[in-house]
Protein backbone atom coordinates (compact mmCIF):
# COMPACT_ATOMS: atom_id res chain seq x y z
CA UNK A 1 0.00 0.00 0.00
CA UNK A 2 1.20 3.52 -0.86
CA UNK A 3 0.41 6.16 1.75
CA UNK A 4 0.72 9.87 0.98
CA UNK A 5 0.63 12.93 3.23
CA UNK A 6 -0.66 15.77 1.06
CA UNK A 7 -0.87 19.47 1.82
CA UNK A 8 -3.88 20.43 -0.30
CA UNK A 9 -5.61 23.61 -1.41
CA UNK A 10 -8.90 22.87 -3.12
CA UNK A 11 -10.70 25.66 -4.94
CA UNK A 12 -14.21 24.32 -4.34
CA UNK A 13 -14.03 23.28 -0.66
CA UNK A 14 -16.28 25.12 1.87
CA UNK A 15 -13.88 24.45 4.75
CA UNK A 16 -10.83 25.83 2.94
CA UNK A 17 -12.71 28.94 1.78
CA UNK A 18 -13.96 29.55 5.33
CA UNK A 19 -10.50 29.23 6.93
CA UNK A 20 -9.18 31.60 4.27
CA UNK A 21 -11.43 34.37 5.58
CA UNK A 22 -11.90 33.53 9.27
CA UNK A 23 -9.42 32.46 11.99
CA UNK A 24 -11.01 29.04 12.47
CA UNK A 25 -9.72 25.46 12.06
CA UNK A 26 -11.52 22.18 11.38
CA UNK A 27 -10.44 18.65 12.30
CA UNK A 28 -12.37 15.67 10.94
CA UNK A 29 -13.49 13.02 13.42
CA UNK A 30 -15.70 10.85 11.20
CA UNK A 31 -16.45 10.98 7.50
CA UNK A 32 -18.36 9.07 4.82
CA UNK A 33 -18.12 9.69 1.08
CA UNK A 34 -21.28 8.81 -0.84
CA UNK A 35 -20.07 8.43 -4.43
CA UNK A 36 -23.60 7.76 -5.77
CA UNK A 37 -25.03 10.97 -4.34
CA UNK A 38 -21.71 12.81 -4.79
CA UNK A 39 -21.53 14.14 -1.26
CA UNK A 40 -19.34 13.91 1.82
CA UNK A 41 -20.84 13.62 5.31
CA UNK A 42 -18.51 14.60 8.16
CA UNK A 43 -18.36 15.11 11.90
CA UNK A 44 -15.73 17.72 12.72
CA UNK A 45 -14.33 19.74 15.58
CA UNK A 46 -14.32 23.46 14.79
CA UNK A 47 -12.10 25.77 16.83
CA UNK A 48 -12.10 29.55 16.49
CA UNK A 49 -9.61 32.01 17.91
CA UNK A 50 -12.52 33.33 20.00
CA UNK A 51 -16.21 32.61 20.56
CA UNK A 52 -17.12 35.38 18.14
CA UNK A 53 -14.75 34.04 15.52
CA UNK A 54 -16.24 30.55 15.87
CA UNK A 55 -19.74 31.97 15.28
CA UNK A 56 -18.55 33.97 12.27
CA UNK A 57 -16.80 30.94 10.79
CA UNK A 58 -19.81 28.66 11.18
CA UNK A 59 -22.07 31.32 9.65
CA UNK A 60 -19.79 31.63 6.62
CA UNK A 61 -19.53 27.85 6.33
CA UNK A 62 -23.34 27.48 6.22
CA UNK A 63 -23.60 30.10 3.46
CA UNK A 64 -21.03 28.44 1.16
CA UNK A 65 -22.59 27.34 -2.16
CA UNK A 66 -21.06 23.83 -1.88
CA UNK A 67 -22.47 23.28 1.62
CA UNK A 68 -25.64 21.17 1.73
CA UNK A 69 -26.07 20.96 5.49
CA UNK A 70 -24.25 22.29 8.55
CA UNK A 71 -25.47 21.90 12.13
CA UNK A 72 -24.02 22.12 15.65
CA UNK A 73 -23.90 18.94 17.75
CA UNK A 74 -22.35 20.58 20.80
CA UNK A 75 -20.54 23.81 21.61
CA UNK A 76 -18.46 25.22 24.43
CA UNK A 77 -16.74 28.60 24.31
CA UNK A 78 -14.70 28.73 21.08
CA UNK A 79 -14.95 25.00 20.22
CA UNK A 80 -17.86 23.17 18.59
CA UNK A 81 -18.60 19.69 17.29
CA UNK A 82 -20.46 20.01 14.01
CA UNK A 83 -22.06 17.79 11.40
CA UNK A 84 -21.86 18.70 7.73
CA UNK A 85 -22.78 17.44 4.30
CA UNK A 86 -20.92 19.00 1.37
CA UNK A 87 -20.90 18.53 -2.38
CA UNK A 88 -18.20 16.19 -3.66
CA UNK A 89 -15.15 18.29 -4.53
CA UNK A 90 -12.97 17.85 -7.60
CA UNK A 91 -10.14 16.41 -5.47
CA UNK A 92 -12.42 13.85 -3.79
CA UNK A 93 -13.76 12.73 -7.15
CA UNK A 94 -10.25 12.51 -8.63
CA UNK A 95 -8.92 10.38 -5.76
CA UNK A 96 -11.92 8.04 -5.87
CA UNK A 97 -11.98 7.64 -9.66
CA UNK A 98 -8.29 6.74 -9.71
CA UNK A 99 -8.52 3.94 -7.14
CA UNK A 100 -7.45 6.02 -4.14
CA UNK A 101 -8.96 6.36 -0.69
CA UNK A 102 -8.65 8.60 2.35
CA UNK A 103 -6.67 6.72 5.01
CA UNK A 104 -6.77 9.15 7.95
CA UNK A 105 -8.47 12.21 9.39
CA UNK A 106 -7.95 15.52 7.66
CA UNK A 107 -7.36 18.97 9.13
CA UNK A 108 -8.12 22.35 7.58
CA UNK A 109 -6.51 25.61 8.67
CA UNK A 110 -5.33 28.87 7.04
CA UNK A 111 -6.83 27.97 3.69
CA UNK A 112 -5.09 24.60 3.39
CA UNK A 113 -6.00 21.02 4.14
CA UNK A 114 -3.85 18.10 5.27
CA UNK A 115 -4.88 14.78 3.68
CA UNK A 116 -3.76 11.19 4.18
CA UNK A 117 -4.39 9.32 0.92
CA UNK A 118 -3.74 5.69 -0.02
CA UNK A 119 -3.22 3.89 -3.34
CA UNK A 120 -2.66 0.24 -4.20
CA UNK A 121 -0.09 0.80 -6.95
CA UNK A 122 2.18 3.41 -8.54
CA UNK A 123 0.11 3.76 -11.71
CA UNK A 124 -3.05 4.79 -9.83
CA UNK A 125 -1.01 7.22 -7.76
CA UNK A 126 0.60 8.82 -10.83
CA UNK A 127 -2.72 9.21 -12.65
CA UNK A 128 -4.44 10.72 -9.60
CA UNK A 129 -1.68 13.23 -8.88
CA UNK A 130 -1.48 14.30 -12.52
CA UNK A 131 -5.23 14.92 -12.61
CA UNK A 132 -5.24 16.65 -9.22
CA UNK A 133 -2.67 19.12 -10.52
CA UNK A 134 -5.07 20.43 -13.14
CA UNK A 135 -7.62 21.82 -10.68
CA UNK A 136 -5.93 21.98 -7.29
CA UNK A 137 -2.75 23.15 -5.61
CA UNK A 138 -0.95 20.56 -3.51
CA UNK A 139 2.38 19.33 -2.16
CA UNK A 140 3.20 15.72 -1.32
CA UNK A 141 4.89 16.12 2.06
CA UNK A 142 5.60 12.46 2.71
CA UNK A 143 5.30 9.14 0.88
CA UNK A 144 5.50 5.67 2.41
CA UNK A 145 5.16 2.34 0.67
CA UNK A 146 4.01 -0.09 3.34
CA UNK A 147 4.19 -3.84 2.79
CA UNK A 148 1.66 -6.30 4.27
CA UNK A 149 3.94 -7.28 7.18
CA UNK A 150 4.53 -3.70 8.27
CA UNK A 151 0.86 -2.85 7.76
CA UNK A 152 -0.24 -5.82 9.88
CA UNK A 153 2.17 -4.75 12.62
CA UNK A 154 0.80 -1.20 12.49
CA UNK A 155 -2.81 -2.35 12.74
CA UNK A 156 -2.05 -4.89 15.46
CA UNK A 157 -0.40 -2.19 17.59
CA UNK A 158 -2.79 0.65 16.79
CA UNK A 159 -3.97 0.83 20.42
CA UNK A 160 -0.38 1.21 21.62
CA UNK A 161 0.23 3.98 19.08
CA UNK A 162 -2.94 5.71 20.22
CA UNK A 163 -1.78 5.63 23.86
CA UNK A 164 1.49 7.28 22.90
CA UNK A 165 -0.34 9.89 20.83
CA UNK A 166 -2.70 10.63 23.70
CA UNK A 167 0.28 11.12 26.00
CA UNK A 168 1.82 13.65 23.62
CA UNK A 169 -1.49 15.48 23.25
CA UNK A 170 -1.85 15.70 27.04
CA UNK A 171 1.09 18.13 27.17
CA UNK A 172 0.16 21.76 27.69
CA UNK A 173 1.44 24.25 25.14
CA UNK A 174 4.14 25.43 27.56
CA UNK A 175 5.25 21.86 28.34
CA UNK A 176 5.38 20.94 24.66
CA UNK A 177 7.36 24.05 23.69
CA UNK A 178 9.84 23.50 26.54
CA UNK A 179 10.25 19.81 25.73
CA UNK A 180 10.75 20.51 22.01
CA UNK A 181 13.27 23.31 22.65
CA UNK A 182 15.25 21.14 25.05
CA UNK A 183 15.36 18.27 22.56
CA UNK A 184 16.23 20.42 19.54
CA UNK A 185 19.02 22.17 21.40
CA UNK A 186 20.68 18.99 22.64
CA UNK A 187 19.62 18.93 26.29
CA UNK A 188 19.25 15.14 26.10
CA UNK A 189 22.53 14.57 24.29
CA UNK A 190 25.67 13.23 26.02
CA UNK A 191 27.36 15.51 26.80
CA UNK A 192 24.54 18.06 26.94
CA UNK A 193 24.66 20.78 24.32
CA UNK A 194 22.47 23.17 26.30
CA UNK A 195 21.72 23.77 29.98
CA UNK A 196 18.73 24.64 32.14
CA UNK A 197 20.17 28.14 32.51
CA UNK A 198 20.24 28.60 28.72
CA UNK A 199 16.71 27.26 28.37
CA UNK A 200 15.56 29.60 31.15
CA UNK A 201 17.11 32.52 29.27
CA UNK A 202 15.43 31.37 26.04
CA UNK A 203 11.96 31.35 27.63
CA UNK A 204 12.67 34.30 29.93
CA UNK A 205 11.64 32.36 33.05
CA UNK A 206 13.46 30.95 36.07
CA UNK A 207 15.64 27.86 35.97
CA UNK A 208 13.22 26.20 38.43
CA UNK A 209 10.24 26.87 36.15
CA UNK A 210 12.04 25.34 33.17
CA UNK A 211 12.96 22.29 35.22
CA UNK A 212 9.35 21.83 36.37
CA UNK A 213 8.00 22.15 32.82
CA UNK A 214 10.50 19.58 31.57
CA UNK A 215 9.73 17.13 34.37
CA UNK A 216 5.99 17.36 33.78
CA UNK A 217 6.37 16.80 30.04
CA UNK A 218 8.85 13.94 30.54
CA UNK A 219 6.54 12.27 33.06
CA UNK A 220 3.54 12.41 30.70
CA UNK A 221 5.44 11.15 27.65
CA UNK A 222 7.24 8.43 29.63
CA UNK A 223 4.00 7.20 31.19
CA UNK A 224 2.37 7.01 27.75
CA UNK A 225 5.41 5.19 26.29
CA UNK A 226 5.44 2.63 29.12
CA UNK A 227 1.71 2.01 28.72
CA UNK A 228 2.20 1.49 24.98
CA UNK A 229 5.08 -0.94 25.62
CA UNK A 230 3.00 -2.91 28.11
CA UNK A 231 0.19 -3.25 25.57
CA UNK A 232 2.65 -4.32 22.88
CA UNK A 233 4.10 -6.97 25.19
CA UNK A 234 0.67 -8.10 26.35
CA UNK A 235 1.55 -7.43 29.99
CA UNK A 236 -0.67 -5.96 32.64
CA UNK A 237 0.14 -2.73 34.43
CA UNK A 238 1.17 -3.40 38.01
pTM value surpassing 0.85: no
Residue range 113-128, pLDDT digits in tens: 998 888 988 899 999 9
Q: Residues 111, 207: one domain?
A: no
Q: Based on the structure, what is the number of domains in the chain?
A: 2
Range with the lowest mean pLDDT among 121-125, 191-195, 232-236?
232-236
Q: Is there a contact between 93 and 84 (Cβ–Cβ < 8 Å)?
A: no
Confidence class for position 236, pLDDT limits 50, 70, 90: very low
Same domain, 50 and 162: no
Which residue range is the domain that position 212 belongs to?
157-233
Task: Tell me, yes or no, whether 68 and 185 share the same domain.
Answer: no
Domain membership of residue 238 (yes or no) is no
Where does a domain end: 120, 152, 184?
152
Q: Kindly state whether residues 84 and 17 are assigned to the same domain.
A: yes
pLDDT above 70 for 235? no
Residue 91 shares a structural domain with residue 22: yes
**Can you point out the beta strands (E) in 52-99?**
67-76, 79-87
- Work out the percent of the chain whose per-residue pLDDT is above 70: 91
* Structural domain includes residue 61: yes
What CATH number is associated with residue 207? Answer: 1.10.10.10
227 vs 95, more confident = 95
Q: State the DSSP string of 195-212.
A: -HHHHHHHHTS-HHHHHH
Shared-domain flag, residues 129 and 206 = no
Q: For residue 19, give the 3-state DSSP assignment.
A: helix
Give me the mean pLDDT over the 35-64 stretch: 92
Amino acid sequence: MIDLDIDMRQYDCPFIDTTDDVDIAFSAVQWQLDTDDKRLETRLIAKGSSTGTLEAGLHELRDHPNMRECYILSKRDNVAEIGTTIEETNAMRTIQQNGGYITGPFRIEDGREHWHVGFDDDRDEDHALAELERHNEFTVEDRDQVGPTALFDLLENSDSALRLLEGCRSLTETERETFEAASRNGYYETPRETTLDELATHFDISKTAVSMNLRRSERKVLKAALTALEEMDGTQQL
